[in-house]
């Protein structure tokens, strides 16, 4: 039986989501089993480039929610400039983009779970998310975490 | 013997504190034992609605420290508007408030420890905190974490 | 064989770096073995007070990167004022400074690893970092984490 890793992706910052995917794909390379739980702002890492929200407040929130290509770094975003700068600096050093890392994560069998409660509160539907994502509650995280070698909250 | 979970609540953001309490109460529902360590900004989740601080700087800091009902989300707070919006959206979806989640956590036996050093530095006294909270150092976290199935830093 | 703890220091905030070092030195006092992995903004905790960067963008980034004495708290920094205030409040309560905590961590055998990829992207060279630091990839974190009693992402 393989060793397991569980990662909660709470943050929607480009740099933190990147750290999450690098640890996840790294653990796969080390022949571990990986589960990622996307909650709150982290849902942006699974969102298609669509406008979400049904109620008035949900639609307002939806204006601010990005997809994985649109999220900016936790520091020095400067209205989107930092995002572009970091993408360029990463490309120059041959570091994979978030889209590529996510693709590899999915293809290599990382279990991706979107948090049902966050989706309800933020009015994000399953159709707003990319393919290959399960929807689950805190129970699905706990079931994985108690079998995991280590768990991280990012 | 029950499986254990340890959670450090460093952040004082409404959304992160919510994630902490949802994991904590979820773990209790899964028949696990839970310890929460509140440090730095996380102390706001245990603070009564009182003004803290003794020295000049402590009093200035005290102006900015909220109680669990006053803390705002890590993103889109917009001077308190985001806090009100998220509370409304949560209520609409029948998600419990932070106050309710904390109450359930305490009643169901979650061990709540406030960090002594943070309290000293930020000039928060035991009287400033709600009932049912222990005060301890990093040692009380470590003692729990080394017996825990997993530990999170939130 | 000693119990192990692994800590990823992603954040470069004064207060979060402090939490990381307090847990690390606390675990050493409890006779555990500790590994710290500094990545992204966390590299500031290992940086000398030098200007980093080679390319145009790297140099711009370098203007904003501080050393361990220059980083500010995650909240209430107020353009550096918060940093000074917290330092004073910590000193008054006889809490060690970050520099002192780091010194103790190194002297007591905490393994300090700087993330190669972050250094490449942010154009920070090994010469920009203090003595006693190893450089490694996600693999060196994973190798430690799978043997650790618990792992934290800070």
Facing residue for B121 by CB, picked from C32, C95, C154: C95
- DSSP code per residue over A29-76: HTT-EEEEEE-GGGGGGTB-SS---SSHHHHHHHHH---TTT---SS-
Return the CATH number at B136: 3.40.1260.10
Q: Which residues of C touch A32 (CB under 8 A)?
A: 142, 146
Strand ranges across the sheet with B111-115? B134-136, B111-115, B33-38, B4-9, B150-153
The confidence score (pLDDT) of residue A1 equals 87
Residues of chain C in contact with residue A101, where contact means CB-CB under 8 angstroms, are none
Cα A1 from Cα B32, distance rounded (Å): 24
Given an 8 Å threshold on Cβ–Cβ distance, is A150 in contact with C153? no
Please, is B147 exposed, middle or buried when counting C-beta atoms within 10 Å of its C-beta (0-12, 13-18, 19+)? middle
Task: Using 70 as the pLDDT threshold, list the residues of chain B that sit under it.
Answer: none
Residue of C nearest to A3 (CA): C146
Place of tokens 């000293």: B120
When computed from its CA atoms, the radius of gyration of chain B, rounded to whole angstroms, is: 15
Q: Which of the other chains make 3 or more beta carbon contacts under 8 angstroms with chain A?
A: B, C
10-residue averages of pLDDT along chain A (154 residues): 96 98 98 98 98 96 97 93 95 97 98 98 98 97 98 98
Q: Which residues of A38-73 are buried (b: 16+ CB within 10 A; e: fewer)?
A: bbbbbbbbbbeeeebbeeebbeebbeebbbbeebbb
Give how far A86 is from chain C: nearest CA, Å. Answer: 8
Is B40's CB within 8 Å of C15's CB? yes
pLDDT in tens, C93-126: 999 999 999 999 999 999 999 999 999 999 999 9
What domain range is A78 assigned to?
Answer: 4-153
Domain count, chain C: 1
Confidence label for C1 from pLDDT (cuts 50, 70 and 90): confident
Could A23 and C121 be called an inter-chain contact, meaning their C-beta atoms sit closer than 8 Å?
no
Which helix or strand (DSSP H or E) is residue B136 part of? strand B134-136
* Nearest CA distance, C93 vs chain A (angstrom): 30
Separation CA A148–CA A146 (nearest Å): 6
Residue C150 φ/ψ, nearest 5 degrees: -155, 155
Q: How much is the ipTM here?
A: 0.97
Contact C8, C82 (CB under 8 A): no
Q: Do B139 and C3 touch (CB under 8 A)?
A: no
* Residue C113, helix vs strand vs coil: strand
């Amino acid at each position: 039986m393989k060793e397991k890793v569980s990662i909660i992706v709470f943050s929607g910052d480009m740099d933190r989501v990147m750290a999450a995917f690098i640890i996840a794909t790294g653990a796969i390379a080390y022949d571990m089993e990986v589960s990622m739980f996307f909650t709150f702002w982290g849902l942006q890492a699974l969102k298609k480039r669509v406008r979400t929200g049904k109620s008035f407040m949900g639609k307002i929130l939806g204006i601010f929610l990005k997809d994985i290509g649109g999220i900016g770094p936790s520091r020095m975003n400067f209205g989107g400039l930092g995002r572009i700068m970091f993408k360029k600096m990463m490309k120059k050093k041959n570091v994979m983009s978030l889209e590529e890392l996510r693709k590899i994560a999915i293809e290599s069998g990382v279990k991706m779970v979107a948090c049902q409660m966050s989706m309800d509160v933020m009015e994000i539907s399953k159709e707003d998310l990319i393919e290959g994502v399960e929807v689950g509650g805190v129970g699905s995280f706990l079931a994985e975490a108690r079998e995991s070698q280590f768990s991280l909250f990012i």
